[in-house]
Amino acid sequence: MKTDTKVLKLVRKTESASETEAASAEAKAASADFKGAAPATQPALSPKAVPHEETKSPVVTKIVSQSKTPQAKAATQPGRLAPAARDQSEYHGLSREQMLSIYRTMYLSRKIDDKEIQLKGQNKIFFQISGAGHEAVLVAAGMVLKPGYDWFYPYYRDRALCLQLGMTPLEQLLSAVGAEEDPNSHGRQMPSHWGHKKLNIVSQSSPTGTQLLQAVGCAEAGYRVKLISELKNRVQDFHADEVAYVSLGDGTSSEGECWEALNSACNLKVPVLFLLEDNGYAISVPVEVQTPGGDVSRLLENFPNLHIERCDGTDLLESYAAMQRAVQHCREGKGPSLVHAKVIRPYSHSLSDDERLYRPDEERASDSERDPVKRFGAFLIEEGVTSQDNLQRIKDGVDREVNEAADQALASPQPTPATVKLYVYSPDVDPCAKEFDTEKGAELSGNAGTMVDLINRCLHTEMARDPRIVVFGEDVADCSRDTHLEKVKGKGGVFKVTANLQRKFGGARVFNSPLAEANIVGRAIGMATRGLKPVVEIQFFDYIWPAMHQIRNELALMRWRSGNEWKAPVVIRVPIGGYLKGGAVYHSQSGVSTFTQIPGLRVVYPSNALDANGLLRTAIRCDDPVLFLEHKHLYRQAYNKSQYPPDDFMIPFGKAKIVREGTHMSIITYGALVQRSVVAAKQAEQQGISVEIIDLRSLSPYDWHAIVASVKKTNKVLVAHEDSLSFGYGAEIAARIAGELFEYLDAPVQRVAALDTFVAYAPQLEDVILPQATDVAKAIQELHTY
Rounded Cα–Cα distance for residues 428 and 753 (Å): 37
Please confirm, yes or no, whether 52 is among the known catalytic residues: no
Backbone angles phi, psi at 210, to 5 degrees: -65, -25
SS3 231: helix
Judged on CB neighbours under 10 Å (0-12, 13-18, 19+), 354 is exposed
- Cβ–Cβ under 8 Å, residues 518 and 544: no
CA-atom Rg of the chain in angstroms: 30
* Helix segments in 230-306, DSSP class H: 256-268, 287-290, 296-299
The DSSP result for 447-493, as a single string, is EEE-HHHHHHHHHHHHHHH-TTEEEEETT-SS-SSGGGTTTS----S
Residue 41 makes CB contacts below 8 A (sequence gap 6+) with none
Of the candidates 307, 587, 633, 664, the residue annotated as catalytic is: 587
Rounded Cα–Cα distance for residues 67 and 562 (Å): 39
- Cβ–Cβ under 8 Å, residues 592 and 629: yes
Rounded Cα–Cα distance for residues 239 and 593 (Å): 42
Q: Could you tell me the CA-to-CA distances from 418 to 160, 183, 415 in Å, in that order?
A: 34, 19, 8
Residue 596 makes CB contacts below 8 A (sequence gap 6+) with 603, 699, 700, 729, 732
Count the neighbouring beta carbons within 10 Å of the beta carbon of residue 46. 15
- Cβ–Cβ under 8 Å, residues 521 and 570: yes
Rounded Cα–Cα distance for residues 277 and 249 (Å): 5
- Cβ–Cβ under 8 Å, residues 570 and 526: no
Judged on CB neighbours under 10 Å (0-12, 13-18, 19+), 332 is middle
SS3 781: helix
User: What's the DSSP call for residue 230?
Assistant: G
Catalytic residues, which ones? Answer: 587
